[in-house]
Amino acid sequence: MTPSLLGRVRGCLSSPARCLSHLHCFGLQESGLRETVGQMLEEMQQNEWKVVYCDFLYADGSLKQLLISLGDALHLLRVRSTIHTIKDLIEALNHKLREDSCKGLIICLDHAESVSSFTSSAINAFFDFPNFIDQENPLVRILTLGERSWQAINATNFTIGQIPVPEFYFPIMDKDDCISLLCEVLPEVESSLVKFVVDAAYIHCISPNRLAKLVLRVHDEIEAASKTDKTSIRNLNFSAAFCRKAMAEMLGTNTVVLDAKKENAKPKVEQQPDYLVMPVFQRYLLLASFCASNNAISTDKRFFIKHHGREKRSAKREIRLEEKAQLKDFDPKTADLQVNREYGSSLFFEKFQGINID
């Protein structure tokens, strides 16, 4: 995530222009949109901004339910007994903002795609309410989050408002950005452990939220074990076992082994025999092909294509070669028998465990 992108979002949110009442940030879940925006809003809260969170999905197309949840988040029921209409929200919010000493109010609404379940008039009235806040009161901003752009939501549903909404796209984070974000979000975890876990798990999962849970789990297990084992948490060999176990349970990477002796510990896959990795139907197909092609090279039709032009041909010579071939022993070679035995034993072992086929 580039710092310039967050700087533009923060600049729009803190802009003194009152006509700018709505911003939209969008990106896939793997982009770390919610984690990054949440970290930014926490920093703004420390700078005397008030932030509340709501969800369009929870409202389920009911403007009344959306206003009630927003009133609960803002503690407006202390000012007004009911918040059922836009007018109730504006009056209660004007009264509360006069008492609060803050730079502004940011209302963060998740799952912006769910606005399609609201009527056009209701959702337009909701997004327009910041313009009716008294001028002497602090700014009010609406920040929506979703996986689709606001333009796409408008095109597929209805036209919301007349002023274009500033949009910010959050691309999928690369490994370095993910490490930086997790180090900021998880200050209690050492940066070396965050880098170690992300390096190992990034090829299996790119979601910062899932990686954060994985890092926390590995950190908690290592701390619990280090109290009894007296082993340093910086010991990568000690950390690799817990990381491998957590990845197997949370990501399903049962065959991943971490090599902590290298400077950059990279996951590698355990090597297994080909006849165990290969699907069953392919093993049967190979057995059938071995049986079907168990002929001498001179009698195979491919011989004539492969050796065309290398020696003179004649009808008598071909007949004589065929007669000699019929007298030869057509048993497979030792190597072919060994390959057939390996494939056959793997198939029998899956079907009839415990039977000795030797």
CATH code of 3-169, in short, is: 3.40.50.300
Average pLDDT of the chain? Answer: 76
> How many CB atoms sit inside 10 A of residue 17's CB?
8
Q: In angstroms, rounded to a whole number, what is the distance separating the alpha carbons of residues 192 and 201? A: 14
Model confidence over 123-154: pLDDT tens digits? 888 998 998 998 888 889 999 999 988 888 87
Q: Are 167 and 26 in contact (CB under 8 A)?
A: yes
Task: Please state, in angstroms and rounded to a whole number, the distance separating the CA atoms of residues 350 and 118.
Answer: 56
Confidence (pLDDT) at 52: 93
Instruction: State which amino acid sits at residue 215.
Output: V
Mean pLDDT of 261-269: 48
Q: pLDDT of 308-351, one tens digit each?
A: 555 556 777 778 877 777 766 555 555 566 666 666 666 666 55
pLDDT of amino acid 260: 43
pLDDT tens digits, 2-21: 667 888 999 999 888 888 88
Q: Please, which residues have CB within 8 angstroms of residue 169's CB and are 6 or more apart in sequence?
A: 26, 27, 149
Residues 35-79 pLDDT 10s: 889 889 998 998 889 999 999 988 888 898 999 899 888 888 776
Pairing assessment for the beta strands 167-169 and 22-26 based on DSSP bridges: parallel
| Cβ neighbours of residue 222 closer than 8 Å, sequence gap 6 or more | 193, 233, 238, 239, 242
Residue 134 burial (CB count, 10 A): 12
Where in the chain are the domains?
3-169, 175-269, 274-351
| pLDDT, position 251 | 74
**pTM score, whole prediction:** 0.57
Query: Listing from the earlier edge strand, what are the strands of the sheet with 49-55?
Result: 49-55, 104-110, 139-146, 22-26, 167-169
Task: Tally the residues of the chain.
Answer: 358
